[in-house]
Chains A and B, each alone.
Chain A
Amino acid sequence: MSNTVASRDKAPRNLLVALKEAQTKHGWLPPDFMAELAESLDVPLNDVYGVASFYSFLTIRPLGRNVIRICKSLPCYLQNCQTIIETVEKEIGIKPGETTPDGRFSFELTNCIGLCDRAPAMLINNAPHVDLTPKKIARILQSYK
């Protein structure tokens, strides 16, 4: 039985799956959590940290309740994503890489999200927003509390 998929994934539990679940639950990966996970999986802490820091949808610092990811790759760049980035900066008062003091938004720039036919585009949390114009931004942001 030790060779089956089920046993491989559950004992030891798949590290990346565990991290992803925690990210979804807590919004980030606190150091205490990573230490406990390392112990429970019997792997070195630096392995846990190595995986946690590799993937862009995992974070080892707290994020806001809503994460804005504006695509900066070429197809969106050609459709003026820069003006969308500037509009969001003005609207919520922070730069990419920052979180609003009230914890409502974190703001990041991201590489291609596969919405190039509807550029410029962004993800807020997991939801796509497409065909963006500066005018649309305020109303979209209002729906995220």
Chain B
Amino acid sequence: MPQARVVLKNCGVIDPKRITTYLERDGFKALEKACRMTPQEVINEVKLSGLRGRGGAGFPCGIKWEGARNSPGDEKYVICNADEGEVGTFKDRYILENDPFTLVEGLAIAGYAIGARQGYIYLRAEYHHLLDLLQGAVNQAKESGFLDGFDIEIREGVGAYVCGEESALMESIEGKRGEVRYRPPFPTVAGLWQKPTIINNVETLMNIPQIVLNGGGWYSRIGTERSKGTKVFSVSGDVARAGVYELVLGSPLRELVEELAQARNVKLIQIGGATGRIIPYELIDTTLTFESILGAGAVTVFNKKRDVLDVVYRTMEFLAEESCGKCTPCRQGTEVMVEILQKFYKGEGEERDISVLEALSETMMLSSLCGLGQAAPFAVVDTLKYFRDDYESRTGST
């Protein structure tokens, strides 16, 4: 399958500091077109496109928007999640660096569609160096008259991975600890300040202007039956060409890892960062789709010299540090897993530790409050499946 440029269409082409260069490339034509349509017509196009959320969960975007539109109340919010903190993810940084205008346009269309007068961009603290550029794009759009009746405020994060989780993100905007909320109610019903809210990833919103301009039918012809459009991947680790690549959904992982990033002697690949899946090289012909494996598109490659237990231990250490601490399975489960994995790493594991890891994984996946805890055991589960020998050979008894 080919590389394609839908999301990254303007990256490297426009000057991200000057709106005129964006306007020359059909900039804000989609917003003008959307405003001539009814909000429901805009939502219908997004539904028709089949666009699913690019932050990792893959929720159908049009259905989310329709939910918020149909929730009662005149006060609604749209939020752009620019808090990418997943290990190995940097695609949103690349997008913001190169084309902040498309994001602003996508957010404004989202606001029009659901009936929000206020939008937020939640920018992670580590990306403070992008604040001036992004604020410049918002200001220029406003001065050019594209944001009449719609305000965009950039709210900076303060250093917390879990705030990329949508309910923690809203708590953070409200000025509280970034702890996740119980659901239901879902944000489309009671989100920011308990008002109907949609939260979309940067990359999701980047797709919107082109869907509006070219129609949902056009978009739905790209990709596979259940994974429409393209995906932007962040590839790093043991590769010759680390970087950002946009591929049509359904492309084989091999094309991304071996052809584009030029990895050699691959042992395993972690897809989706710390909460993602680990697969051995033997499965490199897997296709990249929501129905197989995708996450937010972080692809970290490990070569044959790497130690599986080192990878899993460091992954779990990250999650234990970043757990918000609200629910017990995640807070305690990640800590216990770090302790056990460290034993294996040192060659002091015990036979029964493997069954403890398996039981604990199941508990955490079933009973954690949010995606962090539910996905935290994936690295353990996957390596116990594909690299069990690495555990068994590190028990003290053998």
Q: Does A38 make an interface contact (CB < 8 A)? A: no
How far apart are the CA atoms of A5 and B173 in the complex, in Å?
A: 12
Q: How far is the CA of A51 from the CA of B92 in the complex (A)?
A: 27
On chain B, the residues within 8 Å of A143 by CB distance are none
Are B84 and A114 closer than 8 Å at their CB atoms? yes
Partner of A77, one of B84, B126, B158, B314: B314
Q: Does B207 contact A (CB under 8 A)?
A: no
Looking at the complex, which of B8-16, B181-189, B238-246, B280-288 is the stretch in contact with chain A? B238-246
- Which single residue of chain B is at the shortest CB-CB distance from A51? B177
CB contact between A17 and one of B161, B175, B270, B321 (< 8 Å): that residue: B175
Tell me how far the C-beta of B235 lies from the nearest C-beta in chain A, rounded to whole angstroms: 8
Q: Chain B: which residue is nearest A41 at the CB level?
A: B175
B242 touches A119 (CB 8 A): yes
Interface of B is mostly: mixed
B19 to chain A, nearest CB (A): 25
Question: Closest B-chain residue to A75, C-beta based?
Answer: B236
Asked if A42 is at the interface (CB within 8 A of a chain B CB), the reply is no
User: Is the Cβ of A55 less than 8 Å from the Cβ of B243?
Assistant: no
What distance in Å separates the Cβ of B232 from its nearest Cβ neighbour in chain A? Answer: 13
Q: For chain B residues 256-273, which have a beta carbon within 8 Å of chain A?
A: 270, 273
Q: Which residues of B contact A127 (CB under 8 A)?
A: 129
Contact A5/B85 with A54-B178, A126-B129 known, Cβ cut-off 8 Å: no
Does the CB pair B87–A15 fall under 8 Å?
A: no
Please count how many residues in chain A sit with their CB below 8 Å of the partner chain's CB atoms.
36
Decide: A56 near B89, CB < 8 A? Known: A51-B175, A73-B318, A74-B314. Answer: no
B234 touches A16 (CB 8 A): no
A3 and B75 contact, CB distance less than 8 A: yes
Q: How far is the CB of A78 from chain B (nearest CB, A)?
A: 5
Q: Which residues of B contact A55 (CB under 8 A)?
A: 125, 157-160, 178
A-contact bits for B301-320, CB 8 A (1 contact / 0 none)? 01000100001001100100
B195 shortest CB reach to chain A, Å: 9
Contact with A along B126-147 (1 / 0, CB 8 A): 1111000000000000000000
Asked if A117 and B237 sit within 8 Å, CB to CB, the answer is no
Instruction: State whether B89 touches A74 (Cβ < 8 A).
Output: no
Q: Which of A40-58 contact B (CB under 8 A)?
A: 50-51, 54-58
Q: Which residues of A contact B244 (CB under 8 A)?
A: 117
Known interface pairs A14-B175, A16-B158, A126-B128. Does A116 touch B318 (Cβ–Cβ under 8 Å)?
A: no
Per-residue CB proximity of A71-110 to B under 8 Å, as 1/0? 0011101100000000000000000000000000000001
Residue pairs across A and B with Cβ atoms less than 8 A apart, 6 shown, are A51-B176, A74-B270, A112-B86, A112-B87, A112-B273, A114-B126
Binding site for B on A (CB under 8 A): 3, 5, 8, 14-20, 50-51, 54-58, 73-75, 77-78, 110-119, 123, 126-128
